[in-house]
Amino acid sequence: MFKRIPGTRDILPQEMSMWHALEQAARRIFSLYNYAEIRPPIIEEAKLFDRSLGEFAEIVQKQMFVIKHGEDTYALRPEGTASIVRAYIENNLDKAAGFFKVYYMGPMFRLERPQKGRQRQFHHIGCEAIGSSAPGIDVEVIALADALLKEMHISGYRIVLNSLGCLEDKLALTEILKKDLAAQRGDLCQECQSRFDKNILRILDCKNDACKEIVKGINIGDRYLCADCKVHFTSVKEGLDALGVVYTVSPHLVRGLDYYTRTVFEIKHDSLGAQDAIGAGGRYDNLVEELGGEKTASVGFAFGVERLLLVASEIPVVAPEKLIYIVSMGDAARYFSIILAHNLRRDGFRVDMDYEGKSLKGAMRKANDESAEVVLIVGDNELAKQSVMLKDMRVSQQREVPVANLGDELKKTFATS
Ligand code: HAM
């Protein structure tokens, strides 16, 4: 017996309507904000992620699914932003499109210790706006994330906002933290002690209680932000206020990926416990240049679909077309039914049938299990008259209908439901 790899899931047919509802809500909102879909490959050169996320980022150090093939090292993508920036540069989209707004949906892979809301294969719904440093775009992207959650009928979330500043400001913040934390370095958790030299910003959002206490004691404020980055951050906050998007500012929000500069945000849902981020994003004004393109300011976000599903209680699911089930008695009637099903499907009806020659009772039970609204019964009698017995399952009434009128009769039946 083969089993799923830990941290992966089979998304079963009965769960699919929720997935479709989320995806449809996302597509609708992305379209309203004029984002077009992009589908980069799931497998990339591993170096792309080392470069983008930072070689000391936890994802790169511990969580990448790496595949060695001869001289080459590939990785299953742990996130989408790096691939999209690669695609932007490789396809010369900077020349073709200038400002480029795209969205994406699909699986991501991180070799994490699985737990509730944390999987090794999970899915992102995200977007990237590449080509502008205007604070209005940060506002658009955060407002879009908020609109998406509202469209999905998700409530009870908090948007947490911060600015990391430009590269120089990030260095200044690093220096401030090195100075302020030096005396307590030995009291930090093991992980944070090793972060001290390589990735000190991450100490700010460590979940360990001792680290949280130590960090609470330092007054970070916005003293590391340069004048331009302060103006940018103020404009983003003013823009969100003007749109009525509710957020809180936290100087402790730093994010785990190296590419972020200026605005960063996380959307948290307290019902989720330790893994409380349902989505996150921010600016990455140097990444295009870092990966070989022109300097191009950009911003984006990604939601974790599995976490959205954990907090979504009442997504309006789009009902499928009503189902017609054909039951036939005898080989000749079954042959006739196969053609009938084919023709009805061609005319836009949703049709299934019994191919196995079940008894009338067995076939009716199957129709019931499939929630068919109409059953068409075909026997020798009907076959001779080129008609079918149309049974309306909701009222348990049946009538004989000539095949020539069947389309109209079905439409009439469904119209009265
Ligand atoms: P991220 O915070 O690493 O950001 O991932 C975004 C979201 O994916 C998280 O908030 C969470 O909901 C979900 N997620 C992450 N890891 C897992 C996991 N192991 N299992 C289940 N869900 C998970 C990014 O990936 C950035 N690329 C976002 C971005 C786009 N920034 C700018 N543009």
Task: Give the whole-angstrom CA distance, residue 221 versus residue 224.
Answer: 8
Centre of ligand 1 from the C-alpha of residue 143, in Å: 18
Q: What is the pLDDT along the chain (417 residues), one digit of tens a residue?
A: 999 999 999 999 989 999 999 999 999 999 999 999 999 999 999 999 999 998 888 899 899 999 999 999 999 999 999 999 999 999 999 887 778 999 999 999 999 999 999 999 999 999 999 999 999 999 999 999 999 999 999 999 999 999 999 999 999 999 999 999 999 999 999 989 988 988 899 899 888 999 999 998 888 889 999 999 999 999 999 999 999 999 999 999 998 899 999 999 999 999 998 889 999 999 999 999 999 999 999 999 999 999 999 999 878 787 889 999 999 999 999 999 999 999 999 999 999 999 999 999 999 999 999 999 999 999 999 999 999 999 999 999 999 999 999 999 999 999 986
Pocket test residue of 63, 79, 268 for ligand 1, highest count of atoms within 8 A of CB: 79
End-to-end CA distance of the chain: 46
Tell me which H or E stretch contains 414: helix 406-415
What is the CB < 6 Å shell around ligand 1?
79-81, 110, 112, 117-119, 122, 124, 126, 128, 277-282, 300-302, 304, 306-307
> CB within 8 A of 225, min separation 6: which ones?
163, 165, 169, 233
Indicate the pTM of the whole model.
0.92
Residue 73 Cα, ligand 1 centroid: separation in angstroms? 23
How far is ligand 1, taken at its centre, from the CA of residue 210, in Å? 26
Residue from 81, 109, 161, 262 whose mutation best tests the ligand 1 pocket (most atoms within 8 A of CB): 81
User: Hey, what are 294's tokens?
Assistant: 């022109």
CA distances (Å), origin 358, targets 306, 344, 380: 40, 22, 16
CA of 123 to the centre of ligand 1 (A): 9
The H-assigned helical ranges of 152-292 are 167-181, 190-198, 209-216, 227-243, 287-290
